[in-house]
Structure 1
Amino acid sequence: MSDSKPAFDIRVVQDFFDHVYQDRGMVKWQGFYLSDHTNALKKQRAKQAQHYPEKPVQSLTVKTDYLQQAYLKNQPVSIQLNERDRDGHLLPDVVGQVTGYYETTIVLAGWQLVALDNIRHVALVSTTN
């Protein structure tokens, strides 16, 4: 008995890719989401769908008093900004430590700049458990 294999012909393979096979591009990858990725997408959509209640607008004096106290005591603050998403809902509070300030801008956590006139409400965050 002879064990004969058909001869490999690169021309047949090349002809197949040139004239028969049609690459669907990115369409072929659309069904390959990992469960971790789908869970992260669900969490992101849920977070975006949250509505944050409007806190009372504080005067400049009240806001700066809280910010000064937080800066001096190295205490984190929660700041509600006057920014809304495209649906008109307030964004989540910005939370962090006041690490510096300029004339009309504060610095949170060493890198995030927040303009005083963009702040709606400031609250000190309790650090005790």
Structure 2
Amino acid sequence: MSKLKQIDDDVLVQRFFDHDYQDRGVVKWQGFYLSDHTAALKKQARQEAVKHPAKTQQSLEEMSAILSDAYANGKRVSIQLNARNPNGEFVPDLTGPVIGYEDDAVYLADQPPVSLSEMRHVTKIS
């Protein structure tokens, strides 16, 4: 393809988009939303609508005792972190069995390690 032909094609395409093409915006994408996609969006909206109220701040000794007991007896715990989402609400609690600890980090199954300083409240789940 010659350089002159390429330039003419580029000019023709640009002229088409500048003068002839009418973009329909979002309307053209609505047919692509599948039922499973809309169901996933609804599920996400329901999860985001759930509020996680503040629990009382426990001392490090209280939290350590609960975590130690849960680790020794293979029990599950629920941990509320001090972290908040962009709306200022507490993030969902981390739950799972305590599978280990190291220094001030606690390991729950299927969760990232959590530092004691990041925790607000620990509850043992029966």
TM-score per shorter chain, which class?
A: 0.7 to 0.9
Match of 1:75 in 2: 75
Question: 1:30: Cα distance to partner?
Answer: 4.2
Structure 1 distance, partners of 2:58, 2:42, is 35
Code of the residue aligned with 1:62 in structure 2: it is E
Stretches of 4+ moved more than 2 A in 1?
Answer: 26-31
Contact map agreement 2:78 2:94 (CA 8 A) in 1: yes
Q: Give unpaired runs (5+ residues) of structure 1.
A: 1-17
Q: Deviations along 1:54-108, whole A, 9 cap, x unmatched?
A: 1100000000000000100010100000010000000111001111111011111
Q: What's the Cα RMSD here?
A: 2.4
Match of 2:98 in 1: 98
Code of the residue aligned with 1:125 in structure 2: it is I
Match of 1:84 in 2: 84
- Equivalenced residue count is 109
The TM-score normalised by the length of structure 1 is 0.74
Code of the residue aligned with 1:54 in structure 2: it is A
Structure 2 distance, partners of 1:58, 1:47, is 26
Question: 1:110: Cα distance to partner?
Answer: 5.7
Match of 1:50 in 2: 50
Contact map agreement 1:100 1:110 (CA 8 A) in 2: no
Q: Deviations along 1:39-66, whole A, 9 cap, x unmatched?
A: 1111111211221111100000000000
Code of the residue aligned with 1:79 in structure 2: it is I
Match of 1:11 in 2: none
Which protein shows a greater Rg?
1
**Which has the larger displacement, 62-71 or 105-114?**
105-114
- Larger proportion of helix: 2
Q: Give unpaired runs (5+ residues) of structure 2.
A: 1-11
The TM-score normalised by the length of structure 2 is 0.76
Match of 2:5 in 1: none
